[in-house]
Amino acid sequence: MNKTVKLPPQITKERLADLYKEMWLIRYFDEKVDEFFAKGMIHGTTHLCVGQEATASGAISMLKDIDKITSTHRGHGHCIAKGGDVNKMMAELFGRTTGYCKGKGGSMHIADVETGNLGANGIVGGGIPLAVGAALTSKMKKEEYVVLCFFGDGASNEGSFHESINLASIWDLPVVFFCENNQYGMSGSVKEMTNIENIADRAKGYGIPGEVIDGNDILEVMNAVDEAVSRARNGNGPSIIEAKTYRWKGHSKSDAKKYRTREEEKEWRQKDPIARFKKMLLDKGIDEKYLDSLQEEAKKTIEDSVEFATNSPEPSLDSLMEDVYA
């Protein structure tokens, strides 16, 4: 961390501007979801990634269209960055038939196979073995896609983490394990849950590369993932990237955040990944008015998604048992 990073050679200024807009899409989406949960207009539960936008946008921007991702219960940003339809996402959270799961799955079960999003997961660490299975498929069928596996710091203490990484290592599978370390698994600080400084240090135990990066610096995220994806695509096996970041909101909608201080929250808000990215773009000569217009476009897109969702029909009772059994 705190190292000088360069722009990946395949990334243009135009692509950077697109990513800036995408990060605002992710933030506005989750802030809007938070608003409607507070009003009782969305039911169930949800886990917001406000403050973590650089990990989703930066990491996924280094993938090809054929590449896959597995997500987590905090997965809205991953879905948007992989090309997901915010109209379908919002409709799903509103429980409408036009949603990704016809309004029956909710926040934690959104998947979009067409874009390569193999799905969010309500089970902590549940997506890790799925990523390894997909990577094994890629290798056995010579399909040449890489799998980017998102997981949180809490999942690194699950058995699925260790078993999956061990298999990926011994079979040299094309998978990149990407830990979004937002400092807390529910209300438990990562400092209290592990006895090592960095989760990525566990890579040594499986004979694969491990790297720790600043998860709020989108360029650092892009460079680390670009290198790891290239390594995996070239047949050199998996790696672990740990991105240090922070969720601004609670673990879920019912979390009062009593386990952390307001001073800590203020310190991390000053590391806002979108504000840092904007400053970098301005330094590269991109016009501020243009960036502001992209932000406004993102906001309108999310407002339009709300209108789409609220105007969509609710599932009928007759459809209750549809899609339940294979």
The per-residue b/e assignment along 126-139, b for 16 or more CB within 10 angstroms, e otherwise, is bbbbbbbbbbbebb
What mean pLDDT, rounded, does the chain reach?
A: 95
Task: Indicate the Cα dihedral angle 100, 102, 104, 110, nearest 10°.
Answer: 0
The answer to whether residue 115 sits within a structural domain is yes
Beta strand pairing call for 239-244 and 210-214: parallel
**Cβ-based neighbours of 241, under 8 Å, separated by 6 or more:** 59, 176, 177, 178, 179, 200, 210, 211, 213, 224, 225, 228
Q: Give the pLDDT of residue 254.
A: 80
pTM equals 0.95
Tens digits of per-residue pLDDT, 167-193?
A: 999 999 999 999 999 999 999 999 999
The residue assigned the tokens 């930066």 is: 58
* Domain CATH for 222: 3.40.50.970
Is 123 part of a structural domain of the chain? Answer: yes
The answer to the question of residue 166 being in a domain is yes
What pLDDT is recorded for position 11?
A: 85
pLDDT of residue 69 exceeding 60? yes
Q: Give me 256's structure tokens.
A: 């009062």
- pLDDT band for 292, please (50, 70, 90 cuts): very high
Residue at 129 is within a domain: yes
182 near 52, Cβ under 8 Å? yes
pLDDT digits (tens, 9 = 90+) for 220-252: 999 999 999 999 999 999 999 999 999 999 999
pLDDT for 1 equals: 47
**E-strand stretches of 274-324:** none
**Does the residue 18 lie in any domain?**
no
Residue 6 lies in a domain: no
How many domains does the structure of the chain reveal? 1
Number of residues in the chain: 326
Whether the predicted pLDDT of 4 surpasses 70: no
Residue 285 lies in a domain: yes
Q: 33-42, 66-75, 231-240: lowest mean pLDDT where?
A: 33-42
Structural domain range at position 111: 23-307
Would you say residue 322 lies in a domain?
A: no
